[in-house]
Amino acid sequence: MIGPMDEPAWVDQLPRAAVQDFPALTDDALDLHDVRIVDASASCSDVLDNPELVNVALQRCDIAGVVANNGRMHRVLVTGSRLRGVTWGAGMVQDVVVDTTTGGDVSLRFSTLRRVVFRDCVLPELDFAEVTFDDVRLERCVLTGARFHRAKVKQLRIEGCDLTGCSGAEALAGASVHPDDLLNLGPSLAAALGIALDV
């Protein structure tokens, strides 16, 4: 399992040269392999089918309005970036680190997350509906209003996160949660169990 402060070994194997812009996203396709993209922005009005990101580092990027279905993301690092209106639906997300990234209206609905870390991110209402968590860590993130409906937990660790107002908390059965996180998660768990809070 990925350690709480360790970078996975594959990060050192990512390309060092910086590519200053994204390729055009106008042909309904996205294939990025062995690139490092820095200080760039991307948006797309079309739905991207079967995209692939392999051995990719995105640093200080601004990505907006990108909707991708049935994609493959393998050995990807996203750091210091902003995501707005981004959907990676029904895809595979494997060996991925998302670090110090902010945004809103982000969805991973129906995807499988394997060996994935979200660290020091602010991503309110992140949509994890029907996601499979397989060796995933959520560390020191603000995920208020996150959606977990019908998610499947194989291995999930939550530590130092704000999950206030999340929904579908009953799907977190089997997750490992730091005791300090239960205060924020408690009302959502109570609602999932039909327990009324009398204040």
The per-residue pLDDT for range 167-177, each reduced to its tens digit, is 999 999 999 99
66: Cβ contacts below 8 Å, ≥ 6 apart: 25, 42, 43, 44, 48, 85, 86, 87
- CA-only gyration radius of the chain, Å: 17
89: Cβ contacts below 8 Å, ≥ 6 apart: 67, 68, 69, 70, 107, 108, 109, 110, 111
- What is the model's pLDDT at position 183? 81
Q: pLDDT tier at 26 (50, 70, 90 boundaries)?
A: low
- What is the model's pLDDT at position 189? 82
Strands (E), the chain: 31-38, 41-43, 47-49, 52-59, 62-64, 67-69, 72-79, 82-84, 87-89, 92-99, 102-104, 112-119, 132-139, 152-159, 176-177
d(CA 142, CA 164): 9
**Count of C-beta atoms within a 10 Å radius of residue 132:** 18
* Confidence (pTM): 0.90
Ranges of H-type helices in the chain: 182-192
Q: What value does the mean pLDDT take over residues 99-109?
A: 98
pLDDT beyond 50 at 79: yes
More confident residue, 33 or 199: 33
Q: pLDDT tier at 39 (50, 70, 90 boundaries)?
A: very high
CATH topology of domain 33-192: Pectate Lyase C-like (2.160.20)
**Mean pLDDT of all residues belonging to the chain:** 90
- What is the model's pLDDT at position 78? 96
- What is the model's pLDDT at position 1? 41
More confident residue, 158 or 16: 158
Q: What value does the mean pLDDT take over residues 13-17?
A: 77
- What is the model's pLDDT at position 4? 40
Q: pLDDT tier at 192 (50, 70, 90 boundaries)?
A: confident
In the block, tokens 């996180």 appear at 181
Q: What value does the mean pLDDT take over residues 107-121?
A: 98
Ordered by start, the domain boundaries in the chain are 33-192
- What is the model's pLDDT at position 5? 47
